[in-house]
């Protein structure tokens, strides 16, 4: 067979492609467990960060996991009733909300909404933050705040993140996003610490009455332009310059997940009773 012939060249290309495919596939399979662990670790860091719990950037995975387990209590909530599912909570560490959302037997179609959410899981994770460190049995837990997973459409992508609320269920502690594909320097500014620092102290719901059950719908808004201080302008946050659609997306996704199709019932039924 001539080495400069068409048959030889095609055969050589096919062989190279097969070898490369085997190498890539083997690497993907071999590294999948490590990649999954890194994803879990990254989200644990985001939860700790939005809770305001400090940790060293060079901390090992064991140190992060130890800190997480001492300060964060995992709770699985039934979104239809707003009550904690005690059975699912016992195995909360293995609960995969994104997987549940994609399973028709564990989720429902979302009603029409501005956040672009298509399906809602029947159950969802809530991270309860302890003021003090707990032991392995959970003893010593003192509720300080709640952290809720949130997601929704921006301009170019779905944003995935967390919203932290103080124990009163209304005062915002912080917000962060761990995955999105928004434009760097524009919508990507949702990652900017200076912008995220505008959120603490704002209020999620409208003026409340004598109980949480009397609160109105979520009013927090990423406005176009600058907002005042949390005291002056409790329901608005500075907009993202040149990224109005992304800012609107953040408004819509926060309002959706804090509403009755998300964690709204839990906030009223459980958080309200505890505050």
For the segment 189-246, what is each residue's pLDDT rounded down to a tens digit? 999 999 999 999 999 987 654 455 555 689 999 999 999 999 999 999 999 999 999 9
123/40 Cα distance (integer angstroms): 19
Tell whether 59 is covered by a domain.
no
For all residues of the chain together, what is the average pLDDT?
88
Tell whether 4 is covered by a domain.
no
Q: How many domains in the chain?
A: 1
Tell whether 17 is covered by a domain.
no
- Cα-based distances in Å from 243 to 7, 74, 181, 255, 256: 53, 34, 13, 19, 20
| Angle made by CA atoms 150, 169, 139, in degrees to the nearest 5 | 95
Domain that holds residue 200: 65-274
pLDDT bin (cut points 50, 70, 90) of residue 275 is very low
Helix (H, G, I), strand (E, B) or coil at 33: helix
Range name among 19-33, 105-119, 248-262 with the lowest pLDDT average: 19-33
Q: What is the per-residue pLDDT for 38?
A: 76
List, as one string, the DSSP characters of 182-248: PPTTTGGGGG-HHHHTTSTT-BSBS---SSGGG--SB--EE-SS----TTT-TTEEPPPTT-HHHHH
Tell whether 20 is covered by a domain.
no
- Tokens in use for 134? 């707990």
Contact 16, 36 (CB under 8 A): no
Mean pLDDT over 15-41 rounds to: 67
Of 178, 146, 165, 139, nearest to 44 by C-alpha is: 178
* Percent of the chain whose predicted confidence (pLDDT) is above 70: 84
In sequence order, what E strands does 70-223 have?
72-78, 83-84, 107-109, 119-121, 123-130, 143-153, 158-166, 172-179, 221-222
Mean pLDDT over 250-255 rounds to: 97
- Tokens in use for 213? 């059950």
Tell whether 53 is covered by a domain.
no
Range name among 101-105, 131-135, 155-159, 248-252 with the lowest pLDDT average: 131-135
- Tokens in use for 242? 């040149």
Segment 147-193, tens digit of pLDDT: 999 999 999 999 999 999 999 999 999 999 999 999 999 999 999 99
Tell whether 44 is covered by a domain.
no
Tell whether 7 is covered by a domain.
no
Tell whether 9 is covered by a domain.
no
């Amino acid at each position: 067979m001539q080495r400069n012939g068409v048959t030889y060249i095609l055969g050589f290309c096919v062989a190279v492609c097969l070898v490369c495919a085997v190498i890539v596939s083997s690497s993907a399979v071999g590294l999948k467990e490590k990649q999954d662990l890194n994803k879990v670790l990254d989200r644990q860091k985001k939860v700790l960060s939005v809770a305001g719990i400090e940790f060293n950037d060079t901390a090992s995975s064991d140190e992060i996991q130890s800190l997480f387990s001492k300060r964060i209590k995992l709770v699985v909530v039934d979104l239809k009733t707003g009550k904690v599912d005690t059975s699912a909570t016992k195995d909360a560490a293995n609960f995969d909300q994104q997987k549940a959302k994609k399973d028709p037997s564990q989720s429902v179609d979302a009603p029409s909404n501005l956040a672009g959410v298509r399906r809602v899981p029947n159950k969802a994770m809530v991270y309860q933050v302890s003021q003090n460190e707990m032991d392995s049995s959970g003893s010593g837990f003192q509720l300080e705040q709640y952290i809720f997973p949130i997601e929704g459409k921006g301009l170019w992508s779905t944003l995935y993140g967390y919203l932290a609320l103080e124990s009163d269920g209304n005062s915002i502690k912080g917000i962060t996003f761990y995955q999105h594909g928004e434009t760097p320097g524009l919508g990507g500014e949702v990652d900017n610490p200076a912008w995220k620092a505008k959120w603490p102290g704002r209020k999620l719901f409208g003026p409340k009455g004598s109980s949480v059950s009397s609160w109105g719908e979520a009013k927090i808004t990423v406005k176009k332009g600058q907002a005042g201080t949390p005291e002056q302008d409790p329901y608005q946050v500075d907009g993202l310059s040149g990224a109005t659609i992304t800012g609107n997306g953040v408004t819509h996704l926060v309002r959706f997940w804090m509403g009755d199709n998300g964690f709204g019932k839990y906030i009223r039924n459980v958080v309200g009773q505890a505050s």
